[in-house]
């Protein structure tokens, strides 16, 4: 993932969090770190598509 893609993904996540905050009437938007932590993602090898699909 490039830094530009990462920035776009984080911006989209922030907008989604804000939408949920508004929808549920929460007093504040949680920080992205309170909602998402990369440590819980599966290992990279299991997330990659097989070379035969490329």
Q: Which two tokens stand for residue 27?
A: 């007093």
DSSP state of 46: H
User: What pTM did the predictor assign?
Assistant: 0.69
DSSP state of 2: -
**Cβ–Cβ < 8 Å for 17, 32:** yes
pLDDT in tens, 1-54: 799 999 999 999 999 999 999 999 999 999 999 998 888 889 988 988 888 886
Q: Which helix (H) or strand (E) holds 52?
A: none
| Backbone region of residue 9 per phi and psi (left: phi > 0; alpha: psi in -120 to 50; beta: other values) | alpha
């Amino acid at each position: 993932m490039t830094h530009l893609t990462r920035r776009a993904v984080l911006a989209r996540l922030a907008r989604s969090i804000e939408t949920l905050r508004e929808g549920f009437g929460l007093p504040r938007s949680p920080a992205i770190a309170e909602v998402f932590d990369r440590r819980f993602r599966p290992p990279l090898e299991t997330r990659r598509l097989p070379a035969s699909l490329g």
